[in-house]
Amino acid sequence: MSSEQAQSKGKKTSLMLGGLGIGMFAFGFALVPLYNLVCSVAGINGIATGANKAELVLTETDVNRLVTVEFDSTLNAGLPWKIEKPKSKLKVHPGEMHNISYRATNLSDKTIKVQAIPGITPWQATEFFNKTECFCFETQTLEPGESRDMNLQFVVDRALPDKYSTITLSYTFMNTDRSKI
């Protein structure tokens, strides 16, 4: 093989590898919007924060039925925040609006911006748990040492099948500054 052929083959290989790298980057970049779209359409894991902002037509409260709503929160590794849940659980009547607050405190000496990612279990109950106001709809920024109450307003739809008597609402709090992860 002549040096000219070797150079040509090397250029071709370099172009192919460069194209592959660009393609991989584009695919990785597209995964987040695709994931959000799939979750939004399927109603999986309550990730569709904007879509879960329900336009509710409130009907009568079902006073003959109680559903237990459990609250859970997790801090992503290394996030120096403290989260205080409102309660560990609350018994609610379907159709009845509820307002609760989580309290967040930034324990660090830096300003930190966080996104709360909601999750509902069982996932089949996601479409029946309607958040009308939620701190998870927007990022939350706390200055060093700052504390803030973060509001959540929700209603459990009366159409929730009877087999679901307990719903767990979980939030994972994640630092939005990817350079500090």
With vertex at residue 134, the alpha carbon angle to CA 54 and CA 158, rounded to the nearest 5 degrees, is 40
The whole-number pLDDT of residue 153 equals 95
Compute the Cα dihedral for 109, 104, 114, 135 and give only its sign.
Answer: negative
Give every strand in the sheet of 129-134, ordered side by side: 81-84, 97-106, 147-156, 129-134
Instruction: Give the CATH number of domain 45-180; options: 1.10.1660.10, 2.60.370.10, 3.40.1400.10, 3.30.365.10.
Output: 2.60.370.10
The whole-number pLDDT of residue 33 equals 66
Q: What is the pLDDT along the chain (181 residues), one digit of tens a residue?
A: 777 777 788 888 888 888 777 877 766 666 666 666 555 555 555 444 444 444 444 568 888 899 999 999 999 888 999 999 888 899 999 999 999 999 999 999 999 999 999 999 999 999 999 999 999 999 999 999 999 999 999 999 999 999 999 999 999 999 988 665 4
Q: 125, 22, 112, 30: which is closest to 69 by C-alpha?
A: 125
The whole-number pLDDT of residue 40 equals 55
**Cα 137 → chain centroid:** 9
With vertex at residue 149, the alpha carbon angle to CA 77 and CA 134, rounded to the nearest 5 degrees, is 80
Cα–Cα dist 81/94, whole Å: 33
pTM above 0.75, yes or no: no
Distances (CA, A) of 45 to 27, 100, 120, 168: 23, 21, 6, 11
Amino acid at residue number 88: S
Cα–Cα dist 94/107, whole Å: 37
Domain map (residue ranges) of the chain: 1-42, 45-180
